[in-house]
Structure 1
């Protein structure tokens, strides 16, 4: 997607124009995340029903001063995509904390809105960190802020402190799962993707929430650095019963996707989460990010599960700009019908944490 800025002072560049310079800006920025990296932009561009809309602004000196990591996602294709498509930023936009940086970000947002508004319901920004210079720019450009929760575990403690901070019943379930023969494998491979995808599909189907195609995970395996993606699979009695896909960058481990068959008598998902936390701690990471815990005033089963690991409950929020209230109303009326197409299972309230916040249509709170 090509964009143009109404400013002679700022040029638009794309991740493929100069990946080294793009990633250098992300690496140097205090809020840079794996979702800003050129590799993740490539992952989404190679995934069906996803379109990378990521752009950065370069000043007259050739330096990047702002970056917008947007992805347009279609739930369904064709004419109906106008009421089933949204643009998502899986992390907040970046900008220099200067007048030039804020101006450049405002220009990027304006160009983005013009480019997607006719074929997209809204753009949503999913913040990972406390608000900074970007918040004022977002709000001044029509993006409304909403409270949204997350749990983040501080790993700067010894291993026993981390273990003992987990709820007593959850620790007992993890120990019991291992005693009963459950094992956890690290299988970050094409075979691992094909093993875990049915587990993800089962969990998302139970919640009647659409899941990205398997090509998202195959693309991630292909383009994300080998040291920045992990697949874990829990096996019991010869069957795969739970699995997660995690991403990590700098000092943060991010729980990206997870799924489970919910076997009786064991809790493989809790065991995998602890395995991720323990690994991240052993390798010197500082934070384990659960990837979202719902709207504050709504019951949300995965939040209950995530709370048992006693991370810090934070509220960095989300921002949303709606391009057509009429089309959004049509989409919301058809939402339950669309969800019925995604699953043959009745709706369940997840309590195992596997029904993640990564779906682009999983939450409807803003009005």
Structure 2
């Protein structure tokens, strides 16, 4: 391989010239949805997200990619920068796990990426090999857990891995008349988004604009993209799980159920139905998503662990471009979320 590498950054206006070569190239065994051209297109059509691609080449051969997006939570002028962050999800990815290419991508990123308060790298695989390089360019590592389910096991073995309580509640959901469908319509997606709005408002957490999920639906095809699962009870969607498919992997992206239907156990039925569907459709792994930090109590992790799977720690990296502003931004966002939640709650009670 040529030891002279070139690096270029592309935004939504300039990426088209490289899109074809990316779509036709299967670069690496760990290439996944969040570094794919499809996800770039999703971010491109999502409000509050601006995607960028950094490509590394040796001559004309593509040897590394780094897709990241800039996210702004608050669009109010003068405040938006405080809510800005860059997210690198599962990247960078380099051919042959080259240390030189990885360092080049990180160096190029730190010099050329659009400014934001901080950058977060969400790892999907073990990155211990590159930890020193990340540290060299100002990225600090912190532990973060996820749960992986091996779908190559038999359905009987998967069922054995489910906690007795969950197995009983899956049976109860079915006895109540609940069943899982896999719709593809915009109407079903809108119904799911209404559920997610309730869930995330209750948790006081931000939720992407509907345009993000709409773009996921439109950018999907038979090979990759959004897979929508819904729990139906008496003709109504009461719970949903939005997954992202790519290659052998299926990722849990967003999920939830209406709180007043919890006794129908949609949140127990959904994961099991998704496991069975994914296994039958050739997926080898299910990534159950974030499970919080080790040694920090987290109810979501305890819930997910009861469906089997392996608890792994791939961690995250963060780089604070403006450390003092980061502290201010963190406080400001917490305040904004609290005020927004109280405002939404007021609208519920007043009808305004």
TM-score exceeds 0.5: yes
1:204 counterpart = 2:200: yes
Residue segments in structure 1 that go unaligned for 5+ positions in a row: 1-6, 347-367
Encode CA deviations 1:143-169: one digit per residue, 9 max, x unaligned: 111111000011121111111210000
TM-superposed CA distance for 1:265, in Å, is 2.0
Q: Please give the alpha-carbon distance, in whole angstroms, between the structure 2 residues aligned to 1:323 and 1:117.
A: 11
Say yes or no: does 1:192 pair with 2:179.
no
Superposition map of 1:1-367 within 5 A: 9-12=5-8, 14=10, 15-25=15-25, 27-59=26-58, 61-77=59-75, 78-97=77-96, 101-116=98-113, 118=115, 120-131=116-127, 133-228=129-224, 229-262=226-259, 263-344=261-342
Higher strand proportion (structure 1 or 2): 2
Unaligned 5+ runs, structure 2: 346-352
Distance 1:75 1:110 in 2: 27
Return the offset for 1:301: 1.4
TM-score, with length taken from structure 2: 0.89
Q: Give the Å deviation of 1:227.
A: 4.1
Task: Assess if the C-alpha contact under 8 Å between 1:117 and 1:323 holds in 2.
Answer: no
CA distance in 2 between partners of 1:294 and 1:189 (Å): 32
Structure 1 distance, partners of 2:5, 2:304, is: 46
> Could you tell which deviates more after superposition, 337-346 or 166-175?
337-346
- Is the 8 Å Cα contact of residues 95 and 133 (structure 1) preserved in structure 2? no
Q: TM-score, normalised by structure 1?
A: 0.86
How far residue 24 of structure 1 moved from its aligned partner, in angstroms, is 4.4
Q: After TM superposition, what 4+ stretches of structure 1 lie above 4 angstroms from structure 2?
A: none
Q: CA deviation at 1:196?
A: 0.7
1:261 deviates by: 0.8
- Rate the CA distance shift 1:281–1:190 in 2: closer, same or farther, 3 A: same
Q: Helix, strand or coil for the counterpart of 1:88?
A: strand
8 A contact 2:9–2:52 mirrored in 1: no
Alpha-carbon separation, structure 2, partners of 1:261 and 1:116: 40
Moved more, 236-245 or 273-282: 236-245
Measured in 1, the distance between the counterparts of 2:19 and 2:166 equals 43
- Contact 1:69 1:93 (C-alpha < 8 Å) held by counterparts: yes
* 1:363 corresponds to: none
Counterpart-to-counterpart distance in 2, 1:221 and 1:132? 34
Q: Confirm or deny: 8 A CA contact 1:109 1:141 kept in the other structure.
A: yes
The number of residues matched between the two structures is 335
| Structure 1 stretch displaced more, 235-244 or 280-289 | 235-244
